[in-house]
Amino acid sequence: MVIKSLTITEEAYNSLKRLKYGDESFSKVIIRVAKEKKPDVKKYFGILRSSKTTTEEWINRIKKNRNEFDKHFTDRQVRLRRVGG
């Protein structure tokens, strides 16, 4: 087993320590918590039943939002380069 060292704040250490069960190791706590936080998206498949039109509207809205986000992000990068460079 490979061992890695981590540096964490005292606050993070105390939070992790509160999550321990009995003599559970910190490694096991981290693995357990990471698994708990990982959602299983498969359980949501088929939960929303919508028409093809509604689905296409959602897809179009998502694409529009992604494009707006990408433009906003690119604009911010350009402005930051001007300020920093």
Q: What's the CA gap between 5 and 11, in Å, rounded? A: 17
Tens of pLDDT, residue by residue over 26-82, are 999 999 888 876 677 777 777 777 788 888 898 999 999 999 999 999 999 988 888
Spell out the domain ranges in the chain: 1-38, 44-84
Both tokens of residue 1?
């087993």
Residue 17: HSE in the Cβ half-sphere, 13 Å Cα cutoff: 7
The verdict on pTM exceeding 0.75 is no
Buried b (16+ CB within 10 A) or exposed e, 55-67: eeeeeeeeeeeee
- What's the chain's length in residues? 85
